[in-house]
Amino acid sequence: MNILITGAFPLNNEYEQKIRELGYNVYFHKDERTLVDSPQIYDAVICNGLFLYNDIKKFKNLKIIQLTSAGYDRIDMDYIKNKNIRIYNARGVYSIPIAEWAVGKILELYKKSRKFYKSQEKHIWEKEREIFELYNKTAFIVGFGSIGTEIAKRLKVFGVKILGVDIFKPDCLYFDEYYNIKELNESLKKSDIVISTVPLTESTFHIFNSEKFDSMKPYSIFCNFSRGKVTDQSALIRALKEKRIYGAILDVFEEEPLSENSELWNFENVIITPHNSFIGEGNNERMFGVIYKNLKEWK
């Protein structure tokens, strides 16, 4: 069996040896944006956005795909299903760092960290009286998968009430109330913190639009750690300008990198990070654990 591993996964000698011991011939392709030589020879591929730049139809013997991303939005899933290609994502790999990032950034916004950082730079001693507590707030997590579960677990420690929304009721100890995705508008009215961890699909494209922002509390925070295109960015900017929400924490955007001309950069009550929330030193080990398990079971 021939397996192609792209630069999306940092393959080291130890990992490569373990994959070879499963009976795979290992090939490496560093840059996913370049064409793969002899794509027809590969039975398995470990990649992220490889098929944005390479025609998947040329991989004629492909039987298994292991993505290094949690989402499936960079691949033609209809083709995968029609060809009976088995596909796995990186479920659970990035949940811990994203959850830690989410709690940290919410606290930064609530505790006005930006103001204190600026004061420190200028050696200014000035108190801030408008500081918020996480305790007794209600967080609404849209998309209650692995990431949503890890965020909920951490917020519960602060005494936060957790509302979860998904297509199906999650089997999870950390939420207090469950809502179906069809009840999204009504649920938003109850929430102080709205967190998107929902995957990007046809049905979730711009799911956070003007109607949703109008349903949120004036002192609510909107957080997006999933995919930028689940949010109508223009609607979010309007909501911020009109002070319909208190602020936003954004790690993903409709177009990345975020344009230097975007109005989002200019809001004091918006925290912007460059799609960085998933980074953590434990990712490689967790990712290899997923890869090894799936390759072993398929083999």
User: Is the domain of 287 the same as that of 266?
Assistant: no
User: Is the domain of 152 the same as that of 238?
Assistant: yes
User: Is the domain of 247 the same as that of 105?
Assistant: yes
Task: Tell me the β-bridge partners of 224.
Answer: 196, 250
Assess whether 227 carries a catalytic annotation.
yes
Task: Tell me the β-bridge partners of 231.
Answer: 208
Task: Tell me the β-bridge partners of 46.
Answer: 5, 66
Q: For residues 151-163, give the mean pLDDT.
A: 97
User: Is the domain of 256 the same as that of 293?
Assistant: no
User: Is the domain of 106 the same as that of 59?
Assistant: no
Contact status, residue 131 vs residue 112, Cβ threshold 8 Å: yes
> In this predicted structure, what is the pLDDT of residue 50?
98
> In this predicted structure, what is the pLDDT of residue 5?
98
User: Is the domain of 45 the same as that of 190?
Assistant: no
Range in 47-61, 67-81, 167-181, 242-256 the model is least confident about:
167-181
Q: Which of the following is catalytic: 177, 256, 268, 285?
A: 256
Cα(287)–Cα(283) distance, integer angstroms: 6
Model-wide pTM > 0.75? yes
Q: Is the pLDDT of residue 57 over 90?
A: yes
From residue 99, alpha-carbon distances to 33, 92, 164, 198, 270 in Å are: 30, 11, 15, 14, 18
> In this predicted structure, what is the pLDDT of residue 166?
85
Which of 86, 85, 96, 93 has the alpha carbon at shortest distance from 69?
Answer: 93
User: Is the domain of 131 the same as that of 63?
Assistant: no
> Number of structural domains, the chain?
2
CATH code where residue 7 lies: 3.40.50.720
| Of 181 and 141, more confident | 141
Assess whether 123 carries a catalytic annotation.
no
Range in 168-172, 253-257, 289-293 the model is least confident about:
168-172
Task: Tell me the β-bridge partners of 6.
Answer: 29
Local structure of 282: helix, strand or coil: coil
Which of 271, 222, 273, 268 has the alpha carbon at shortest distance from 244?
Answer: 222
Q: Which of the following is catalytic: 227, 238, 242, 254?
A: 227
Q: Which of the following is catalytic: 86, 114, 206, 275?
A: 275
User: Is the domain of 213 the same as that of 147?
Assistant: yes
User: Is the domain of 255 the same as that of 118?
Assistant: yes
Q: Is the pLDDT of residue 180 over 90?
A: no
**Mean pLDDT over the full length of the chain:** 96
> In this predicted structure, what is the pLDDT of residue 299?
73
Written as one string, the DSSP assignment of 166-235 is ESS----SS-SEEEEGGGHHHHHTT-SEEEE-PPP-TTTTT-B-HHHHHHS-TT-EEEE-S-GGGB-HHH
Strands (DSSP E) along the chain, which ranges? 2-6, 25-29, 44-47, 64-67, 86-88, 138-142, 161-166, 177-180, 193-196, 221-224, 247-250, 270-272
Tens of pLDDT along 224-252? 999 999 999 999 999 999 999 999 999 99
Q: Is the pLDDT of residue 170 over 80?
A: no
Residues spanned by the domain of 41: 2-91+281-298
Expressed in angstroms, the distance from the first to the final Cα of the chain is 9
Assess whether 20 carries a catalytic annotation.
no
User: Is the domain of 145 the same as that of 185?
Assistant: yes
User: Is the domain of 86 the same as that of 149?
Assistant: no
Q: For residues 99-104, give the mean pLDDT.
A: 98
Percent of the chain with pLDDT over 90: 93
User: Is the domain of 200 the same as that of 249?
Assistant: yes
Q: How confident is the model at residue 181 (pLDDT cuts 50, 70, 90)?
A: confident
